[in-house]
Structure 1
């Protein structure tokens, strides 16, 4: 304006970008983030020191987000990005709100996946000692940690990256054993022989959280009969012995039949004795399964009699493959009628419910399957050493056929649990393991959980259901890469030796030397003579060290004991994926009890499919940021696009990602960046401390924008508080697009570009732009930290970074509810005017507004005191060359004038003041010439500037 030149909007935007791109603080090796598609050097912005800075400042409140450790077994992926960025947005928001944020990143470093990957790189790995295996596994985990840490830093995750936690740190391992000790002392941890999920491919027990289900697994199901040995007394009159009678049983796991100890029925269900049309024999099965079972067996059943399940009591059957073994008929509530025959083959060694029945009726729990998933010698010569899921299954089916017990075999497709690491089927197998008795703490945990705020609320019922179903937690694993269970066994009897003294001694050693000491030190240095004597033993050498390690869910679930030292061992938030409802959330809850849970979904391809290398839809976050080998196919988006994708997604369901999603995110940021460029480009020569205009002296439309800005700040703050970051993005986009770009920017350009530099009218809208830029940047700073910091680096009047200066500071004094009616009324008339000229240039028209006397007329008079004006606030909003405000249509109105009629409802004081007024808008071509400076039709000649521009050029308006 000082040069007497009007800069077009696109030129203004270009000029602001030019300044940004040539700003002296830009690093010499820029990368693609931020405003001018460049990233400030960390040294210049203090970006990497932010966490340490905020930890050292004085703050009244502390906010603790406890980091669930990602697994250190591979490269960073988009699941990591989703989780870490969500946490970072949360932390940055609370830090800006004045909290001292406590966030210590960590890694889960033990367990079978790391051990397998480490050993897969070594020839002759089967000959390595446990200590050598542990060393290789640790080295592998350390390499994975460095890769993931570098990625997390690149994503802008705020933390003290020099002080993270790893579950293989000696101090961490010692703290973990202290939690184990406390739980053992309270009686929560015990050893027992019972069925557990077992992975033959990994030769170890599994927890339920370590399973994944194959929905297309095919089992060889069989219908088989158990000949009745002893008739139930209440059925004696029906079963007279004249025809052979059997109970009819269906199972999908024939290999478990040799371990059968009983057949179970549902006491309250109805059962039928039927006669088979094909064989003439009598069979017993559930009454509502008669027709469907007959159809499967391709025969017909004649119902002889029907009875209650309880009438089967005291009956017994002959085992179908083991001569002389008796299988009693027993009641059980786990029997269902959805499939099968309503009578369930019960093998206590291979089923959780089966084991409960056996325990109640004191039946043996004999396991005939070894850790490899092969039948043992006790299973007999026909089965010995056969794989139960392969040739062992086939052998049992042939034995059933030879005994005349097999009625039908068929393929059955169903959901079946697999080992999530080896991706192979698991079995249920009884073995001696260590357990946490979750039944003892479940009631307390469920009550605590009901008081915890869980987002989304739909996760509450699922977690309560999981807790209710979980009666015990198997915490022992048959590996060497982990934290050893500190137990010793008597060589001859196998009796375990574990007490406070032995555990305390081990904790001291581990704290100093780490858990390698369990494998490297002789037993004399691990087990004291005093502890042996106290346990009633005689010699330390009579004992051996246990070979089991703790479940990695116990590793990570006790992380609070290490990380939350000095914070009263309480976290404000746990934020993890929904798979942790049965994993880390539960293990933490069962060992800690105090949680706030936020649960997000999984990442999927943009069509909703799982990511797979074979499909080719795997999204690598490094490629998202830096681009692939072919930038035309995989362009570099930058870290903020990755963060925007996380924030804009509905993370409480499945989160989709792919080229279309990323391109849309990039476009959204570009639109936001253009809005910021406009505001930043118009801040030159403006200092808020000396040049700001008080709200009371502003244009009404400027006051209106402050009003909207205050409302926006409140809504955004509330959305952050609710962890609804997608709502933050929606609010940001709506405000920038609708309120700023489409509305405010379009009407203030004339003031910005054509008024004298220091004119109060220009300073008024600059004041609003400065406030809007400040509020908008702070509102998205937790989501787009690189862009936010860069904007603040280029402010001509501020030097300190956005994160060090706090949250949105929108004055409550900006809130003026009544002001909305005046501006929105004028906007309604502008819409009528623009609609009447069919997209033509409004500056080529003069507009006449006719309003009957009343409240609406008075509001418009506040925007334009004189009858006609080319510079009034009302004319600025109308975007015409001149606006005339009248109470009736002028008599000289041309007969062909286009008159548009409309209505506007005024609603003030919460509805106490309501008045609907009609208005008329008349658009007339202007008779004035186009000003060569401001491009408005306000000049007397196209070669001479208009009076306003002449005054500015002459400097008459300067102070």
Structure 2
């Protein structure tokens, strides 16, 4: 007889095949219709807040693997704290000003910035930014990222711009803002000043030259002495106005085949060897301070080059004498200011020499290198030249080398607040811990912040210039007055309206009383835009809180957004605008290489989503230790897809065996009696505590790895495999079966909540099919964490199960040996003789439980010398319904007594 129809086999409509690329967009539509984010906010109203302040990505293209990693990690954090009962408010943001968008707009138009009116370019830029806000919003939502997507913040919005200006006004009031002529990073391709945060260093080949400057006649140095300088920027020689030496470094005049040369004493041998010269005798060494006041001459221009003192000079490289051009070098400029040297800066905004520059007029600065070198050769000043590979600053926007150029810019004084910035880093929790040291290093070494950019697409610096006396005018009250206008009209109005439109009626120049003005045309550095977000977003939104509980970005943001947030926060509020900083690494390819389009090794996260689904991509993020650089590849995604399948099938098994279970009629939780049920509840409770601790410290990889191990080892291979017999073969109302279903129900909901922050789509799909009371929320993402079930599990129970599991391993090994030899078909047909060492015994209850744990026919304990097991085929017949081998199987119906009783009861 076929007894299959008499079994309680699993039944569920939950599909085995996930088909995530199709199912996930459908669930997204459901969430949007139900307003899951709004429902969650309403459900948590009045609870303690958790605010993760979003660092805004540039709205200038599709998302990539790095932005996907960033947003998914943020989403998992937010979803965990919502699950933990906190009121999670997440406002996503977009950085919408600056060069990336302006360059994209110009490329689309096919023009340069000089071929289009500012307002026309700004409108095109705004269109690009708004387009990509829409594109990126859709893409982030496709990844399952939950937030207030209907009300994101964007730095181009007039309300945001006005708040940024009010931040600036506060800094003006505190005397932190000034305008000055300084040597700054300058990109001739982007035609703008840059800040340190916009610089990246790459290996660059430069022409290295050693040049002799003749020293004017003096009784302190031998006649004909020439000072030798070394530089890797021959193009700056036309701007030379001095030679710097270190006051306490010792120098000597060395006689050579080309005459007496002045060098640092410590570098004589090295330099002469490089120049191919010999030391024919040298005078006494003297400190650099003795050279102050002496004068050399420019090698080919009618200009003097006095000796000046500078602590930046070292004997680590070069000659110990530094070519000084205040119009270019940062240290050169500072030394030049101290000695009141002329600032010769012959380059225009595009890096070309002005028409009045001797020898190199009209040349691009790089093209001037061979011309200058040729001239130095002709006049006998060039002693040596060679190729020099070194780390050089590049513009991180256009990827071209930058130059140092003295220009007038607006600055924020870091010196004035440096101590406060440093102190504030100690109040912040940094993860990884080295983040605090890194930020302190950034603060200690940071120059004053160059705020101004010579571009069009951005927020204007609201300063004015008097047309009568030329003085610049910038006050906090004026900035706030402009902020109110821009809040109403937007920043385009700065280019559409005259200066008078933004000034109070009857305003006069504080210096000369003039009444005609022009506006500043420079815009703010974009780091000022995003760095003001704590004020424009957190303080401007009653649903949020200041400071933020957490900010999370890539580890490159210590010099970027983290830094600008800290600076504006300290400058205006006196404290850091975040309580915790968490960083992630970069995304690398399968070989550990950085991904670049030029290398062809980029991985499109949206393509992976279309192939595997967002949940598998999220599983990649969660299973990676994101604090370090992480790798991504198709092979890795295939492995994760397999892990996902195991997790899904484990939940499907639980759902199938709860098909006839009703939570409203289940026995009370305190009624657990079965030792295996009690053990699994205890074991899962242990893992839930570990998972919750891991979630709270953002160790998502520990959660995922622990979950996979729990599901494959403790559940699928052990508990769930063992309980199939009682679930399938016992009567539906059998107390043990109902108790086991109660445990399954608990496991299902506890583990379902635990994976919900990671597998957001799958968790909600499982929840939809899960049995639950009518008063449960309609989405798992509106529910709360299910903790451990306190069943009073004691140490004696734990020790008992540990001992039996130890026996189980020995027994299963013995059975497997006989299975491999084809002596036994499976464990159900095995009779096992278990040899127990003296002093150990197996009670009748233990014997029965161990038999169930190994799913054998019989276990016979005997006393032996060591713990070992011997398996052999059982003589007992097999029950045709439950397939167990028992001594009570009838020859008539081939059923065991238990199955016969179940069938008799069901027939009543």
With the length of structure 1 as denominator, give the TM-score of the two structures: 0.88
Distance 1:221 1:765, change over 3 A: same
Say if 1:700 and 1:863, in contact at 8 Å, map to a contact too. no
Q: Which residue of 2 aligns with 1:934?
A: 882
1:950 to 900, 903, 907: 900
- 1:344-386 deviation per Cα after TM superposition (whole angstroms, max 9, x unaligned): 2122221222222222333233322221111224532x12221
Distance in 2 separating the partners of 1:558 and 1:935: 71
Q: Which moved more, 1:428-437 or 1:700-709?
A: 700-709
Distance in 2 separating the partners of 1:111 and 1:69: 13
2:886 aligns to what SS in structure 1? coil
2:518 to 544, 548, 551: 544
Q: Which residue of 2 aligns with 1:792?
A: 767
Distance in 1 separating the partners of 2:111 and 2:809: 79
Distance in 1 separating the partners of 2:356 and 2:284: 40
Alpha-carbon distance, 1:88 to partner: 0.6
Alpha-carbon distance, 1:784 to partner: 1.0
2:385 to 380, 401, 409: 409
Q: Which residue of 2 aligns with 1:83?
A: 70
Distance in 1 separating the partners of 2:431 and 2:566: 16
Say if 2:730 and 2:902, in contact at 8 Å, map to a contact too. yes
Q: Given the alignment of the two structures, is residue 674 of structure 1 paired with residue 655 of structure 2, yes or no? A: no
Q: Which residue of 2 aligns with 1:282?
A: 260
Distance in 1 separating the partners of 2:502 and 2:694: 55
Alpha-carbon distance, 1:493 to partner: 4.3
Distance in 1 separating the partners of 2:834 and 2:670: 27
Counting only pairs closer than 5 Å after superposition, residues 454-533 of structure 1 correspond to structure 2 as 454-491=430-467, 493-533=469-509
Distance in 1 separating the partners of 2:322 and 2:437: 30
Q: Given the alignment of the two structures, is residue 182 of structure 1 paired with residue 150 of structure 2, yes or no? A: no
Alpha-carbon distance, 1:786 to partner: 0.5
Say if 2:469 and 2:512, in contact at 8 Å, map to a contact too. no
Distance in 2 separating the partners of 1:490 and 1:330: 37
Q: Which residue of 1 aligns with 2:606?
A: 622
Counting only pairs closer than 5 Å after superposition, residues 755-834 of structure 1 correspond to structure 2 as 755-798=730-773, 800=777, 801-813=779-791, 816-834=794-812
2:879 aligns to what SS in structure 1? coil
Q: Given the alignment of the two structures, is residue 206 of structure 1 paired with residue 184 of structure 2, yes or no? A: no
Say if 2:300 and 2:379, in contact at 8 Å, map to a contact too. no
Unaligned runs of 5+ in 2: 570-575, 820-825
Counting only pairs closer than 5 Å after superposition, residues 879-894 of structure 1 correspond to structure 2 as 879-885=855-861, 888=863
Q: Which moved more, 1:417-426 or 1:784-793?
A: 417-426
Q: Given the alignment of the two structures, is residue 901 of structure 1 paired with residue 866 of structure 2, yes or no? A: yes
- 1:144-178 deviation per Cα after TM superposition (whole angstroms, max 9, x unaligned): 11110110111111112111111111111100100
- 1:860-881 deviation per Cα after TM superposition (whole angstroms, max 9, x unaligned): 53843xxxx6xx2221113211
2:816 aligns to what SS in structure 1? coil
Distance 1:395 1:43, change over 3 A: closer
Distance 1:450 1:510, change over 3 A: same
Distance in 2 separating the partners of 1:283 and 1:779: 75
Q: Given the alignment of the two structures, is residue 594 of structure 1 paired with residue 577 of structure 2, yes or no? A: yes
Say if 1:2 and 1:953, in contact at 8 Å, map to a contact too. no
Aligned length: 884
Distance 1:937 1:332, change over 3 A: same
- 1:34-59 deviation per Cα after TM superposition (whole angstroms, max 9, x unaligned): 9xx66653455568622212222323
Q: Given the alignment of the two structures, is residue 558 of structure 1 paired with residue 552 of structure 2, yes or no? A: no
Say if 2:666 and 2:738, in contact at 8 Å, map to a contact too. yes
Q: Which residue of 1 aligns with 2:338?
A: 360
2:834 to 846, 849, 857: 849
Distance in 1 separating the partners of 2:587 and 2:7: 46
1:338 to 309, 316, 323: 316
Distance in 1 separating the partners of 2:281 and 2:38: 79
Distance 1:3 1:603, change over 3 A: same
Alpha-carbon distance, 1:5 to partner: 4.9
2:599 aligns to what SS in structure 1? coil
- 1:868-908 deviation per Cα after TM superposition (whole angstroms, max 9, x unaligned): x6xx222111321112345x36xxxxxxxxxx933xxxxxx
2:306 aligns to what SS in structure 1? strand
Distance 1:370 1:461, change over 3 A: same
Say if 1:4 and 1:952, in contact at 8 Å, map to a contact too. no
Say if 1:502 and 1:531, in contact at 8 Å, map to a contact too. no
Q: Given the alignment of the two structures, is residue 861 of structure 1 paired with residue 843 of structure 2, yes or no? A: yes
1:569 to 522, 531, 546: 546
Distance in 1 separating the partners of 2:338 and 2:663: 80
Q: Given the alignment of the two structures, is residue 20 of structure 1 paired with residue 14 of structure 2, yes or no? A: yes
1:702 to 677, 685, 689: 677
Distance in 2 separating the partners of 1:335 and 1:771: 71
Q: Given the alignment of the two structures, is residue 96 of structure 1 paired with residue 83 of structure 2, yes or no? A: yes
Distance in 1 separating the partners of 2:6 and 2:340: 95
1:741 to 713, 716, 728: 716
Say if 1:826 and 1:878, in contact at 8 Å, map to a contact too. no
Alpha-carbon distance, 1:851 to partner: 4.0
Alpha-carbon distance, 1:814 to partner: 5.5
Distance in 2 separating the partners of 1:645 and 1:500: 49
Say if 2:28 and 2:142, in contact at 8 Å, map to a contact too. no
Alpha-carbon distance, 1:638 to partner: 0.6
Q: Which moved more, 1:775-784 or 1:492-501?
A: 492-501
Distance 1:427 1:39, change over 3 A: closer
Q: Which residue of 2 aligns with 1:921?
A: 869
Distance in 2 separating the partners of 1:784 and 1:20: 16
Say if 1:73 and 1:144, in contact at 8 Å, map to a contact too. yes
Counting only pairs closer than 5 Å after superposition, residues 113-152 of structure 1 correspond to structure 2 as 113-123=100-110, 126-152=114-140
Distance in 2 separating the partners of 1:435 and 1:200: 20
Alpha-carbon distance, 1:288 to partner: 3.5
Alpha-carbon distance, 1:778 to partner: 1.0
Q: Which residue of 2 aligns with 1:27?
A: none
Distance in 2 separating the partners of 1:834 and 1:181: 75
Q: Given the alignment of the two structures, is residue 263 of structure 1 paired with residue 243 of structure 2, yes or no? A: yes
Q: Given the alignment of the two structures, is residue 254 of structure 1 paired with residue 254 of structure 2, yes or no? A: no
Alpha-carbon distance, 1:772 to partner: 1.6
Distance 1:493 1:230, change over 3 A: farther
- 1:374-403 deviation per Cα after TM superposition (whole angstroms, max 9, x unaligned): 1224532x122211122x222222222223
Distance in 2 separating the partners of 1:228 and 1:268: 20
Distance 1:755 1:33, change over 3 A: farther
Alpha-carbon distance, 1:290 to partner: 2.7
Distance in 2 separating the partners of 1:305 and 1:654: 56
Q: CA RMSD in A?
A: 2.6
1:424 aligns to what SS in structure 2? coil
Q: Which moved more, 1:692-701 or 1:112-121?
A: 692-701
- 1:277-318 deviation per Cα after TM superposition (whole angstroms, max 9, x unaligned): x33x22232333333323322233356246354454425342
2:366 aligns to what SS in structure 1? coil
Q: Which moved more, 1:458-467 or 1:141-150?
A: 458-467
Say if 1:320 and 1:403, in contact at 8 Å, map to a contact too. no
Say if 2:663 and 2:771, in contact at 8 Å, map to a contact too. no
Alpha-carbon distance, 1:7 to partner: 7.0
Distance in 2 separating the partners of 1:434 and 1:814: 68
Unaligned runs of 5+ in 1: 24-29, 627-635, 890-899, 903-919
With the length of structure 2 as denominator, give the TM-score of the two structures: 0.92
Distance 1:571 1:735, change over 3 A: same
Distance in 2 separating the partners of 1:102 and 1:262: 58
Q: Which residue of 2 aligns with 1:907?
A: none
1:394 to 370, 377, 382: 370
Distance 1:945 1:350, change over 3 A: same
Distance in 2 separating the partners of 1:791 and 1:275: 87
